[in-house]
Amino acid sequence: MTASSSSPSGGRWLSEVLASASLARAYTIAVVATVFSSFAIERMAGRVTYATIIASLCVLAVAILIVRRREISFLRLVPTTLVVFLAWALLSVFWSRNAPASFWSWVSTAGLALLAVTIGHVRDTLQTARALGDVMRWILSISLGLEILSGILIDMPIRFLDIQGNLAQLGPVQGIFGTRNLLGFAAVIALITFLVEYRTQSVRPGLSLFSVVLAGLLAALSDSPTVSVLAVTVGAATGVLWLVRHARPARREVLQWVVAGVVTVGIVVAYLARHPIIAMLGAGSDFSTRAGLWARLLTFVRLQPVQGWGWFGPWDPLEPPFVGINFTLGQRHATALNAYFDVLLQLGWLGLLLFLALAGIALVRSWLVASDRRSVVYAWTPLLLVALLVDSMFESFTLTGVGWVLLVVCTVRAGHSRSWRERIDALDAGPELPHVQGDETQAR
């Protein structure tokens, strides 16, 4: 009698915990901290440990979504573009040279997407930004502390974390991210988030100032050539978005088209003037390495232009075409150093079009929402997408790990508004949904 009577109450307790706001916040922080610390976790505890953590978070994600099924619209659960892209990546397993390895790579990609989709439904935009800000304050602080320890206090590298100890020479530094480019990318993402926190007054002014200085300092010390490009691009996007938000509603649509035209012209001009720009940034050697890699990569793309070679995400150095590319170059690359070229190589032109649709539609939707809504927190999603898409021209971070998680989170957030799902849900359940209402509140 006691066991049978306690079972229902135990089940209700578990359901209440899984549906609680406290668990949602803790879950979001755990996911963000795990993906941002993936390099350090693998170096200290091994890849199996990292995979086990991700698998456990996926199981918890499924449980949370099941318990919250009544408050989550099935139509809004996963953006169509994400479903189609993942479906095409799964189909590529059938023509991959190593189907088992390609399948497990897809499982990893889909698992991280599941984590991001869950975050997008259990946290609103400001709550997600606050969780990211809290994690980045700790991770960047730890990175700076280890660089001080390595570069000044003991004056020797911390080899198992690939920290070179170059702080006394003002960089480049890597922190716990493994490479200076990933540290620079993470610092820019953190800077966007910290500025949104400051504008929404969701943290104390002193903490905001410390956070912005910390992110800016590590971005500079990373000495990553991509940081300058990201800073200029995100700064320009912020200024344009401010102009659009403060324009009269009657003139806003015309201004949006003007902005689109200027961006298109700017991309063409930047491409034509790429060599002077690269020389000005002092990134000639980095670009020459990338140019040689991309030229060789395109020769393999021509062999399977439509469907690609199969989805692997990070390159398997023993599998074609990656082994052929590295062998002919005499180098050892783990990615194409460009997310668009990586998708083109692995999923073909069709996969690249699907990826561009996934990211492009999310950017347009989130930009239009940020242009119309009053709260500045709505600017977080489009600015993050701008940083991700620009960085994708120099690195493949957007396809794996933290970059992929952030892209899917932004896609899910953007899919909550200006979507055909929104109109269908409005007919069935009214125009306002619970998970959108919290965006203009301050998370505590």
Each residue's pLDDT expressed in tens, for the chain with a length of 444 residues:
444 444 556 678 888 888 888 999 999 999 999 999 999 999 999 999 999 999 999 999 999 999 988 877 766 788 899 999 999 999 999 998 889 999 999 999 999 999 999 999 899 999 999 999 999 999 999 999 999 999 888 888 888 888 888 888 887 999 999 889 999 999 999 999 999 999 988 889 899 999 999 999 999 999 888 888 898 889 988 888 888 887 777 777 777 777 777 777 777 766 666 556 556 555 556 667 777 888 889 899 999 888 899 999 998 888 888 888 888 888 888 889 899 999 999 999 999 999 999 999 999 999 888 888 778 899 999 999 999 999 998 889 999 999 999 999 999 998 876 555 555 555 555 444 444 444 444 433
The pLDDT assigned to 285 comes to: 60
Burial of 440 (0-12, 13-18, 19+ CB in 10 A): middle
Closest CA to 101 of 344, 312, 360: 312
**Cα distances (angstroms) measured from residue 300 to each of 99, 253, 288, 290, 297:** 19, 43, 19, 16, 5
What pTM does this model have?
Answer: 0.88
| Cβ neighbour number for residue 193 with a 10 Å cutoff | 25
**Cα distances (angstroms) measured from residue 64 to each of 7, 118, 281:** 20, 8, 46
**Cα distances (angstroms) measured from residue 176 to each of 39, 95, 156, 179, 181:** 7, 37, 16, 8, 12
Under a CB-based contact definition with an 8 Å cutoff, are residues 356 and 81 in contact? Answer: no
DSSP 282-322: T-HHHHHHHHHHHHHHHHHHTTSTTT-S---SS--TTSTTH
The pLDDT assigned to 353 comes to: 95
Distance of CA 313 to the CA centre of its chain: 14
Q: What are phi and psi of 317, to 5 degrees?
A: -65, -15
Under a CB-based contact definition with an 8 Å cutoff, are residues 205 and 354 in contact? Answer: no
Cis peptide before 172 (omega within 30 of 0): yes
Tokens 């055909």: give the residue.
420
Under a CB-based contact definition with an 8 Å cutoff, are residues 231 and 219 in contact? Answer: yes
Pair of tokens at residue 109: 């990609």
Under DSSP, the state recorded for 170 is T
The pLDDT assigned to 423 comes to: 53
Pair of tokens at residue 44: 């200290």
